[in-house]
Amino acid sequence: MDQLRPFIGGNWKMNLHLDQARDLARALIENLQQLHHADVVICPAFPYLAQVGVIIAESTIRLGAQDFYHQSNGAFTGEVSLSMLADVGADVVLVGHSERRHVLGESDATVNEKVLAALDADFDVILCVGETGEQRAQNHTEKIICGQLLRGLANVSPEQLSHVTIAYEPVWAIGTGNTATPNDAQNAHQLLRHTLKDQIAQGNAAPAVRIQYGGSVKPDNAVELIACEDVDGFLVGGASLNVDDFSQIVKATVS
Ligand code: PEP
């Protein structure tokens, strides 16, 4: 298959305060302005989406949200809707991040509701899947990630798949400094791509769905990971908070 255009996400999680978020956004624009061969999205915390959105509005960096509620409005105290995110310039959302699944208790059913709502609202979705260390030790990786993929994408049409990116994020690798080997990442990505083609696209020509790897990606492992045939980019947590590290990771995907 032809090489897909790399897609790199920076998940800032519940980090950075306003000045830091603004400075990081400005510095990224400066560092990545000549870079035309990759797509980049940054996902600040909710309170700073609008201000960061203004800073990156004229750049090629896209604004993403780390979460949202699938209903469009109403009595859902504390929640944020997709149309509110669109108002501040976001057009990408993360869904099913492992911290939302394992810390906040989101089920596959919730993940699927969010995926469908986001696609319906014309957002691009980054759907995260990944096995825990325990599931991996029990050789359940394939079952877990394919199950999360299929349940997360239930009732998504083959056409809508072009607005979906999958992030394979082994839970044991997130924020731990333990990265999947290129071989493990490639095997998981290849499996996910075949599953997408066979079961979601149902034999039709599957649109080119990009599959990001996430889990302790750093400048010094990005080069060997992106060299894997089915790794089309990264979802980056810790290293996305540092302008040099994140810029180097983005540049590694196009060199
Ligand atoms: C993440 O938050 O999606 C992530 C992969 O974090 P880290 O890069 O810190 O492992």
**pLDDT the model gives residue 2:** 65
Residue 47 CA from chain centroid, whole number:
20
DSSP class of residue 171? G
| DSSP β-ladder status, 62-65 and 211-214 | unpaired
Q: How far is the CA of 74 from the centre of ligand 1 (A)?
A: 32
Q: Which CATH class is domain 7-252?
A: alpha beta
Q: What is the mean pLDDT of the chain?
A: 95
Ligand 1 atom closest to the Cα of residue 94 is 3
pLDDT-based confidence at residue 36 (cuts at 50, 70, 90): confident
Residue 132: φ, ψ to 5°: -80, 170
Q: Cα-atom radius of gyration of the chain, to the nearest Å? A: 17
Task: Provide the annotated active-site residues.
Answer: 97, 169
Q: In whole angstroms, what is the distance from residue 128 CA to residue 111 CA? A: 9
Q: How far is the CA of 199 from the centre of ligand 1 (A)?
A: 28
Whose alpha carbon is nearest atom 7 of ligand 1?
237
List 168's β-bridge partners, or say none.
129, 213
**H-state helical runs in the chain:** 18-32, 49-56, 82-87, 98-102, 108-120, 133-137, 141-152, 182-195, 219-226, 243-252
HSE of 177 in the Cβ direction (CA atoms, 13 Å)? Answer: 0
**20-34, 54-68, 165-179, 196-210, range with the lowest pLDDT:** 196-210
Nearest one of 159, 162, 161, 175 to 216, comparing CA atoms: 175
Nearest one of 205, 19, 55 to 42, comparing CA atoms: 55
Residue positions counted in the chain: 255
| DSSP β-ladder status, 233-236 and 7-11 | parallel
Residue 204: φ, ψ to 5°: -70, 165
Q: In whole angstroms, what is the distance from residue 128 CA to residue 108 CA? A: 11
Ligand 1 pocket by Cβ (under 6 Å): 11, 13, 169, 174-175, 214-217, 235-239
What is the tens place of the pLDDT at every residue in 89-132?
999 999 999 999 999 999 999 999 999 999 999 999 999 999 99
Ligand 1 atom closest to the Cα of residue 239 is 8
DSSP class of residue 6? P
pTM of the model: 0.97
The stretch 1-16 carries a mean pLDDT of 92
Which residue type occupies 44? P
What is the tens place of the pLDDT at every residue in 171-216?
999 999 999 999 999 999 999 999 998 888 776 655 689 999 999 9
What is the tens place of the pLDDT at every residue in 212-241?
999 999 999 999 999 999 999 999 999 999
